Structure 1
Amino acid sequence: MKKKLKVGFWEFVARLVLKNRIAIISGIVLLTVFFGLQWKNIQFSFTEANLLPDDHPINNEYNQFLKEFGEEGNLIVVGVKDDAFYTPKNFAAWDKLMKSFKAQKEVDLVVSITDLKKIQKNDSLQTFELVPFVNQTKVNNDAYLKSLKEELFTKMPFYEGLLFNKKSGSIRSAIYLDKKIVNTAHRKDYIINDFIPKIEAFEKETGINLRVSGMPYVRTLNAKSITDEISLFVGASLFVTSFIFFFFFRSFRATLISMIIVIVGVMWTFGFLGLFHYEITVLTALVPSLVIVIGIPNCIFLTNKYQQEYQAHGNKARALQRVITKVGTATLMTNLTTAAGFATFVITNSVLLKEFGIVASVSIVALFFLCLITIPIYYSYQPIPKEKHLEHLSRNYTKVFMDWIEHTVRYNRRYVYAVAILIFAVGTIGALKIKTSGSLIEDMPQKTDFFNDIVFFEKEFDGIMPLEITIDTKRKKGVMKLSTLKKMNQLQETIEAIPELSKPISILNLVKYSKQAYYNGNPDFYALPTSQEQSFILSYAKNTSKNTDQNIMKSYVDSTGQIARITTFMKDIGTGNMGVIEDKLQSKIDSVFPADRYKVVLTGKALVFEKGTKYLLDNLVTSILFAILLISLLMIFLFRSFKMVIVSLIPNLLPLVITGGLMGFFGIPLKPSTILVFSIAFGISVDDTIHFLAQYRQELVRNNWKIKRSVYATLKEAGVSMFYTSVVLFAGFSVFMLSDFGGTVALGGLIAITLAFGMLSNLMLLPCLVLTFNKKIANQQEFVKPTIDVLADLSDSDEESENSDIK
């Protein structure tokens, strides 16, 4: 009675679907329209990925910095390294370009040598004046421009590292955007439609190649690359998987419905993004393609089962119903395990990964129901399969491959174990060699011009990624105390001694420049005032700030004069080196700034990203263990046998070890993108295990609990579908290797390799383990009855009721 109840549920579902086809299809259409209306809520991310939890101390410190000084990533730099720059024509074009930027409401400030200000002493007013560095009446003279270059490089140390590199001769302009637009869509519109065309017009007019970078610029073009790749991935994955599907089944109508299903699934995925108000990031942009890659295997299993059933008894109605009743739970469980692999990212507390995990897992489960409902309904309206559509079930190359698998399992089990142990040992050695990377730009598209410009600024100006230090003196106007300035000077000397960091910028630079100006611009006096000089030099500076429309100290000192800011820029150096630099800086901070008198904080985008990567790495093992636990619980729920859990885990853990070994041997680091590989691949790879063991249990019943006969029958019955789906998954994830993003390439390639090994492991090692662990089953009690019949075994007596389902 209990068995009938379990089987009856799927019979009920099958009859409900097949008797209400028009209503169900209408519901799917309405649901698709609903999700389509949610697309209006889709937004693109305008900031870098924040991998840390919102309440993490590092995030709290960074948010406090933003509260005090505003958005730090509002600087765009435009550089040039060309002697032709110092000609009247090109210099005038540069001046025109900078003035055009300055005139725009999106720009707060432009600092360029064409309108550079230098500090000059006015003894009568006891103040410093900002006077033009360039004499506009002489810029048409070649000799003057050459002398201007010489003066800039020798007498303006305040601007060294900010506007020029004295050693190489390269120069740049600093363009500060309005902080209100930096993290909005307006920034993208301005840079794409206004800023870049102006740069291109200058290059066309002068023939000089300009280099452009800075976080707002990089964010914008990086986001554009992500957007462009969504259509590439969706199109490529749809083409590749559909082509393979057609190659296997040789049926246009089977291929057509599969394409329609995954396209609708993609539409639903975008709908979920809009419904949840999630942003499109470098991770969520992959979900639509993942839906295609994972959805086609669902179509393969269901289509293959329909054709197998029809070939077995020639009854279309019965075959359609058995598509649902015989593989409904098995396909549901495989999709749940796949979704579980993505859902594990929810426990990381990282908003980026949490949103990715939620959208991916929900989309996969929704796609399962879409496949399970749509395919039987579609074939109910189609003619019966022709002979040519069933030829693939006994096609020669698949038969040869499966015969080889069966022969290996039957006669060479010892060699399978030996190879598995050897691979495990080698993979473990390689996995121990894996390094980590916390690079903010490593995963950016390296074939693009903007990435080459990043490399240029790293070489010429020591990077573009801001590292910020705030110094709270715990008293108003404490920053301008000479004792504080001396401590800041010691810290800045330490920063300058670190090759990976650029020359720091702070109020200290202005104080040094003030002393230089006091001594009539002599660069030898670019230094901190002595205690004797302090009173009269700083009084000049204070008078300057009072008489200047914009307080020149406000960007690096808060309004109360209590908190100072030091900004430096960092090269792309990765997690390990970042930790070394942080230790050096922290050691100097601890020795110079007493904790009872100062609160010094290291922050900035570079540090936040590095800490985020470290956070993910620290939680990597937890995430994988959670995935294993979650999937193990599903296996126990299915089979109620600890023995079966062990049997199912070993073939799926081995491919993960192989992948880790490949990463170690080939120098592929652990980073936010490659961290995802293990949980995703494990969740997908275990699908084959469920299909195999589910079919195995059914074969045991059919073959009177004879182990060997059941294992070999399972290989024949389920092996072809496992092979087909694995090929589709391998090819589908390989599509991501078309990306310009290094992380996406690594993600796709590593998952594809893992799934390929997973297929071989499940087709060879898994049956060997089943034969070894279950040497003898005397009766059903030794193979415990599962909670749910994964594969219902319909009797022939049910045929009459099945035939009545479709009229």
Structure 2
Amino acid sequence: MKKLLGIGFWEIIARIILRNRVAFLCVIVFISIVMIVQWKDIKFTQTEANLIPADDKVNVDYTTFLSHFGEEGNLIVIATKDKKLFTPKAFSSWSRLMKNIQSNKEVSLVLSVNNLQKLSKNDSLNTFELTSLVDNNKIQDENYLRQIKSELFNKLPFYEGLLFNKKSGAIRSAIYLDKKIINTKARKDYVLNKLIPEIEKFESETGIDLHTSGMPYIRTLNAKTIIDEIGLFIGAALLITSLLFFFFFRSFRATLISLIIVIIGVMWSFGILGLLGYEITVLTALVPTLVIVIGFPNCIFLINKYHQEYQKHANKAKALQRVITKTGTATLMTNLTTALGFATFIATNNSLLSEFGVVTSINIIAIYLLCLLVIPIYFSYIPAPIPRHLGHLEREYLTAFMNWIVRTVKFNRFGVYTTAVILLIFGIIGIYEIKISGSIIEDMPKKTAFFDDIRFFEKEFDGVMPLEIMIDTKRKQGVLKLSNLKKMEELEQTIMEIPDLSKPLSIVNLVKYSKQAYYNGNPEYYQLPTSQEQSFILSFAKNSAKNAKNNLMKSYVDSTGQYARITTFIKDENGEKMDAIEARIKQKADNLFPPDRYNVIITGKASVFQKGTKYLLDNLLSSLLFAFLITAGLVAIMFRSFKMVLVSIIPNLLPLLMTAGLMGFLGIPLKPSTILVFGIAFGMSVDDTLRFLAQYRLELSRNDWKIKKSVFATFDDAGISMFYTSIILFFGFSVFMLSSFGGTVALGGLVALTLFFGMLSNLVLLPSLVLTLNKTLANEQVFIEPTFDILEHTDEELDELEKKKN
């Protein structure tokens, strides 16, 4: 392996690149064209992220529910508390709005005050029939509208919680979309191009503010915000990183080529998504920006090395060749470790994370190859750097910073270790304060109108996130047995006692309404029939179900009458209460419906997402441990020394623990977005460790294995690149804090903070550990001859190689 990646190998690579410049540029152009062609296959996901494997019981239960009742998340609600609604002008506009909405093929049913149907008894047919609550010929009469409002609030308890809030006076309409379009592009087109314009037209006509929500609406606007932010992230990342790059190097030419490289990388990232057939999700949308943030540090490392080489001997051709020859394996390994950090997500058994891991890993290697090829070729064509371009190697602020680090490592290692222990304790204590969030909406953009609408519906109607209970009676028509209906009513009473849940909807409500209708609409009879009443009241209800074209019963009882559905909505605070809520419902359900005779499933999007978060946490912690093991194994293979493994892991573990502790103390919960922080940060932070150790190994051979002299000489070479790349990464990831999404903000801020801690840890703690432990390491022959030749080679070694070849 040492021979494979040794001096000769990279000398050959350097010669191939520099002698075939035009060919390589043509290949890059060709690949770029191929990738651009793939853009046509890029699609945005129309489904929600399911964080649980398909064969997991949670998903099996959810799929079983969908097989009996279809897609649950097809409800859009529109509401207002404005008292002007029951005035002739406003009510007429409201009626037109609802009729226009109903006329769209994407809508299967609209329930609203203007088209509300009352249930009444037809004795001649032994059935119930629906009659209109509102006579459209009288809606210009304000007194009539007041009567309608009074009748709705006082005589139709079936619709309470569904269409009105009796306490606050809020009125809402329920729009049920065609279940076939819920996970298709047609849903997005309808919401953005038809529904929203209609709502805005109504608001303009009446001056009444409407609140709109429901899963299809939330998902559509959430997805639109993600798409809009892709351009924001790319633009901001390009601007910030290029400005920083120019500030460091003061070279327009170096900045330009770095900018071109990362732009090509961004083009390739979109092409790879199209080529692999992956959809743009909340995670893969971050990949183009990650390419920019990771690409610039590669450019910095190679260009900085080129300037250092040129400063030594003022020979451009020699400097370009030695950039590749000296640093080839080191840059390859550091990029591989970064790619491996992201690749660990592939092992999570989750398609969302696996696709993110695959795409990001491929793009990291692609941007590395671009940098390795383009930078030497570009600088071979342009004039040699002038003194102004090399001035960054001896800047006063950088020199002062590096001198402070050297002094700290040289004279205050006890203080370094004391600080590290204190920070370790801080992190461990903070970890115990971390909470796990299973909230669907917590990461949604909080400054948007649709997020405010979610909070409105949580306040007025106790939430919009569905929680479903499915009861299998294990016998046909078992649902309509009075004994089972009474058990369901008792279970619903338990649900109503839970403050975080809304009033449940089920067949029980319809049967109660049937009894009320049988007794001529008297609201005092809104209750389940007695055993004496059940035969004729339930026969009326069954006849109604057979005759009605659009009856609500089919939404809550399957076609066989064996399965019943109870729907409630949960306030999406942070998901902490979900387990307790489900446990309480499950305990009551098991008492009412013994598991040996019934099967009760608790599911729904809110429940699946919360369980998915916990599943993701377990898997990502495992993948992070896997990343540690890979890095440890790589270092062990390279240096064949357990002490070197400790030296490489400890400085990268401490920043992760500090960030975790900070999350605990600041109340930032563990959720899908923040869990990703640790894998990403570790994969990128360990690069600095490997670069430092590689340079340190080189300095040992240069300085006759004198430990202190070698450590401090390492700062003169690797320290500058480590500082530059860390600053670029810090500000690059900070770009994500411009997002409207809380999860993306947390991801960017926490990764940036962790990488900043990682830089200080690698520049201060790492050399301190090397100085402390290397009294024995320097004497280990295995360290002197590493398995992998990842180290930069001395000028003498390269000169000797050239002499042999000549």
Scaled to the shorter chain, the TM-score interval is over 0.9
Distance 1:428 1:80, change over 3 A: same
Q: Provide the residue aligned with 1:230 in structure 2.
A: 230
Cα distance in structure 2, aligned partners of 1:782 and 1:194: 71
Deviation per residue, 1:547-573 (Å, 9 max, x gap): 222344211111111111111111103
d(CA) in 2 for partners of 1:57, 1:427:
35
Partner of 1:538: 538
Pairing of 1:362-381 with structure 2 (within 5 A)? 362-381=362-381
Per the alignment, residue 214 of structure 1 pairs with: 214
Residue 47 of structure 1 and its aligned partner are, at CA, apart by 2.1
Cα drift, residue 618 of structure 1: 2.4
- Per the alignment, residue 605 of structure 1 pairs with 605
Partner of 1:415: 415
- Rounded to whole Å, the distance in 1 between the matches of 2:238 and 2:802 is 34
Q: Which residue matches 1:755?
A: 755
The CA distance in 2 between the partners of 1:219 and 1:669, in whole Å, is 22
Partner of 2:345: 345
Equivalent position of 2:51 in the other structure: 51
Answer yes or no: is 1:354 the counterpart of 2:354: yes
- Distance, in Å, in 1 between the alignment partners of 2:503 and 2:537 is 24
* Native 8 Å contact 2:695 2:792 kept in 1: no
Q: Which residue of 2 aligns with 1:95?
A: 95
TM-superposed CA distance for 1:617, in Å, is 2.0
In structure 2, the residue matched to 1:333 is 333
| Structure 2 partner of 1:581 | 581
Instruction: Note if contact 1:317-1:802 (Cα within 8 Å) is conserved in structure 2.
Output: no
Q: Secondary structure, in 3 states, of the residue corresponding to 1:147?
A: helix
Farther-moved stretch of structure 1 (783-792 vs 436-445) = 783-792
Deviates more, 1:567-576 or 1:4-13: 4-13
Q: Are the aligned partners of 1:652 and 1:685 in contact in 2 as well (CA < 8 Å)?
A: yes
Tell me what 1:77 maps to. 77
Aligned to 1:71, the other structure's residue is in SS state: coil
Q: In structure 2, what is the equivalent of residue 744 of structure 1?
A: 744
Bigger drift between 118-127 and 721-730 goes to: 118-127
Stretch moving more, 274-283 or 204-213: 274-283
What does 1:27-176 align with in structure 2 at a 5 Å threshold?
Answer: 27-176=27-176
User: 1:77, 1:212 within 8 Å by CA — same for their partners in 2?
Assistant: yes
Question: Shift of residue 32 of structure 1?
Answer: 1.1
Aligned match of 2:406: 406
Show the 5 A alignment for 1:777-788.
781=781, 783-788=783-788
**Matching residue of 1:255:** 255
Q: How far apart in 2 are the matches of 1:408 and 1:795?
A: 30
TM-superposition CA deviations, 1:72-126 (whole Å, max 9, x none): 1111000011011110000000000000011111100000010100101112222
Tell me which amino acid in the other structure corresponds to 2:108: D
Tell me the alpha carbon deviations over residues 642-682 of structure 1, each in whole angstroms, 9 at most, x when there is no partner.
11110011111010111011101110000110000111111
- Contact 1:93/1:202, CA 8 A, preserved across alignment: yes
Once residues 756 and 778 of structure 1 are traced to their aligned partners in structure 2, the CA distance between those partners, rounded to angstroms, is 30
Q: Give the CA deviation at 1:483.
A: 1.2
2:79 is matched by which residue type in structure 1?
Answer: G
Aligned length: 805
Change (3 A) 1:552 1:425: closer
Find the aligned partners of 1:59 and 1:326 in 2 and give their Cα distance. 52
Deviations 1:21-54 (A, max 9, x none): 1111111111111111111111111122111112
Partner of 1:273: 273
- Secondary structure, in 3 states, of the residue corresponding to 2:119? strand
C-alpha contact 1:409 1:767 (8 A) present in aligned 2:
yes
User: Are the equivalent residues in 1 in contact too, given 2:222–2:444 (CA < 8 A)?
Assistant: yes
Deviation at 1:129, TM superposition (A): 1.0
Task: Give distance in 2, aligned partners of 1:87 and 1:779.
Answer: 92
1:199 corresponds to? 199
Corresponding residue number in structure 1 for 2:596: 596
Q: Structure 1: which amino acid aligns with 2:531?
A: S
**What is the CA distance between 1:599 and its match in structure 2?**
0.9
* Gap change, CA 1:126 and 1:692, over 3 Å in 2: same
**TM-align CA RMSD:** 1.7
CA contact (8 A) 1:109 1:175 kept: yes
- Once the two structures are overlaid, the 10-residue window that deviates more, 723-732 or 357-366, is 357-366
Instruction: Give the 3-state SS of the residue equivalent to 1:78 in structure 2.
Output: strand
Does residue 698 of the first structure (1) align with residue 691 of the second (2)?
A: no
Take 1:384 and 1:774, find their aligned partners in 2: how far apart are those partners?
A: 40
Letter in 1 for 2:753: I
Normalising by structure 2, report the TM-score. 0.98
Q: C-alpha distance in 2, partners of 1:6/1:404?
A: 35
1:575 Cα shift?
3.1
Measured after TM superposition, the shift of residue 13 of structure 1 is 0.7
Structure-1 separation of matches of 2:797 and 2:173: 83
Is the CA contact (8 Å cut-off) linking 1:575 and 1:613 kept in structure 2?
Answer: no
The question of whether the paired residues in 2 share the 8 Å contact of 1:468 and 1:567 is answered with: yes
Match of 2:24 in 1: 24
Tell me: CA distance 1:3–1:594, structure 2 relative to 1, closer, same or farther (3 Å).
closer
Deviations 1:263-292 (A, max 9, x none): 111111111111111111111111111111
Counterpart in 1 of 2:509? 509
| Percent of pairs with identical residues | 65
* Aligned position for 1:245: 245
Check 1:804–1:194 CA distance in 2 against 1; reply closer, same or farther (3 A cut).
farther
Give CA-to-partner distance per residue, 1:240-277, whole Å, 9 cap, x none: 11110000000011001111111111111111111111
Are 2:2 and 2:789, in contact at CA under 8 Å, matched by a contact in 1? no
TM-score, normalised via structure 1 length: 0.98
1:706–1:777: 8 Å Cα contact kept in structure 2? no
| 2:383 aligned partner | 383
Please state how far the C-alpha of 1:496 moved relative to its aligned partner: 1.1
Report the alpha carbon displacement of residue 594 of structure 1 after superposing the two structures with TM. 1.2
CA spacing shift, 1:494–1:4, aligned 2, 3 Å? closer
Report if aligned partners of 1:254, 1:303 keep a CA contact under 8 Å in 2: yes
Q: Do the aligned partners of 1:346 and 1:354 also contact (CA within 8 Å) in 2?
A: yes
Name 1:443's counterpart in structure 2. Answer: 443
- Decide which moves more: 422-431 or 197-206: 422-431
Structure 2 distance, partners of 1:436, 1:584, is: 20
In structure 2, relative to structure 1, the CA distance for the partners of 1:464 and 1:55 (3 Å cut) is: same
Alignment of 1:689-728 (within 5 A): 689-728=689-728
Corresponding letter in the other structure for 1:773: L
Query: How much has 1:165 moved relative to structure 2?
Result: 0.4
Q: 1:407-442 CA distances to partner (integer Å, 9 max, x unpaired)?
A: 111111111111111111112111111111100000
Amino acid at match of 2:483: S
Distance across 2 between alignment mates of 1:635 and 1:589: 55
SS at match of 2:440: coil
* Shift, 1:614, TM fit: 1.0
CA distance in 1, matches of 2:215, 2:284: 21
* Equivalent residue number for residue 547 of structure 2: 547
- Contact 2:261/2:370 (CA < 8 Å) preserved in 1? yes
Contact conserved, 1:248 with 1:392, CA < 8 A, in 2?
yes
Structure 2 counterpart of 1:16, one-letter code: I
Contact 1:317 1:803 in 2 (8 A): no
1:795 CA displacement:
4.1
Q: 1:601 Cα deviation (Å)?
A: 0.5
Moved more, 263-272 or 542-551: 542-551
Aligned partners of 2:647 and 2:770 also within 8 Å:
yes
* Secondary structure of residue in 1 paired with 2:73: coil
Q: Secondary structure of 1:293's match? A: helix
- SS for the counterpart of 1:223 is helix
* Bigger mean CA offset, 773-782 vs 560-569: 773-782
Change (3 A) 1:123 1:25: same
* Aligned position for 2:433: 433
Classify the secondary structure of the residue corresponding to 1:531: coil
1:331 and 1:6 map into 2 onto residues whose CA distance is 13
What amino acid does structure 2 have at the position aligned with 1:641? S
Aligned runs of 1:678-697 on 2, under 5 Å?
A: 678-697=678-697
What SS is found at the alignment partner of 1:566?
Answer: strand
Query: In 2, Cα distance between the equivalents of 1:779 and 1:321?
Result: 33
Q: Which runs of 5+ in 1 are unaligned?
A: none
Match of 1:475 in 2: 475
Which one is further off, 80-89 or 541-550? Answer: 541-550
Residues in 2 aligned to 1:462 and 1:391: alpha-carbon distance in whole angstroms: 63
Q: Does 1:571 align with 2:571?
A: yes
Quick check: 2:345–2:620 contact (8 Å CA) kept in 1? Answer: no
CA distance in 1, matches of 2:387, 2:375: 20
